Amino acid sequence: MTTKLVNMLLLLLILCVGAGYLYYSYLISERRLGDDLRPIYFPVAVGAGIIVLSAIELLRAIRSRTEDDLSPFEMPNLGKLLATIALMAAHFLVWQRFGLFYPATFALFVGLVLVYRATFTMREIGIAVLWSGVFTALLYLVFQYAFGIALG
């Protein structure tokens, strides 16, 4: 996939968001028509601006033939990035559902280090567990104990 294509896809998405935003503004105006302090004046101007600007940029992107635009859109370590996002999402879910912030954080730290290291020897796992334990304990001491911020 080229940079140009990714650029165009994002611009299309922004164009759709702008259109959706305008449509939603229209729905709000339907409900409170005739109000002196109409809450949609500003959003309509903003929505129109988004549509106009993204359309201009989209046209420019379509016509563009620069080297940068035609180069492939590279994303090294994509697997590690996706794993990071998945681990973060899992951490949020466990924390949200069960309130287990510290155990979930301990597991997140170990998981991230192992994903980034990509080696799963006992030694690597041991080091990750050790650092994660130290870091989680520090978090507990600073936030829960010293500052009284309840995290779970």
Partner 1 sequence: MLEMLSYDVSDLFTFGSLGAIVFGSLAGLIIGTLPGLGATIAVVLLLPLTYSMTPLASILMLIAAYQGSEYGGSISSIILGIPGTPAAVATTIDGNALARQDKAGLALGYSLAASTIGGIIGGIVLIFLAVPLARLAVRFSDPEFFLIGVAGLIAVSALSSRNGVKSALSVFLGLMVGTVGLDAFTGIPRYTFGTLELLEGVGMIALLTGMFAFSELFSIITRELGKTFASGSKKLSTGLSLAQLRLILRPATIGAGIGSVVGIFPGMGAGPASWFAYIQAKKSSRTPEQFGKGAPEGIAAPEAANNATVGGALVPLLALGIPGSPSTAIILGAFIIHGIQPGPNLFTNSGDLAMGLFYGFLIATLVMYVAGRLVTNFFARALTISNTYLVPVVLILSIVGIYASKGLHFNLWVALGVGLIAFLMKRLDYSLPSFILAFILSPIIEESWRRTMLLSDGSLSIFVVRPYSATLLVLIVLFLLATALGLSRARMRNLE
Per-residue tokens: 113: 């280090």
Measured in degrees and rounded to the nearest 5, phi and psi for residue 99 equal: 70, 15
Cα–Cα distance between 68 and 62 in angstroms, integer? 13
Give the footprint of partner 1 on this chain (CB under 8 A).
3, 6-7, 10, 14, 17-18, 21, 24, 28, 31-32, 35-37, 39, 41-43, 46-47, 49-50, 53-54, 56-57, 60, 73, 75-78, 80-81, 84-85, 88-89, 91-92, 95-96, 105, 108-109, 112-113, 116-117, 131, 135, 139, 142-143, 147-149, 151
Cα–Cα distance between 91 and 108 in angstroms, integer? 7
Per-residue tokens: 36: 């002196």
Q: How far is the CB of 54 from partner 1 (least distance, A)?
A: 6
Q: How far is the CB of 125 from partner 1 (least distance, A)?
A: 13
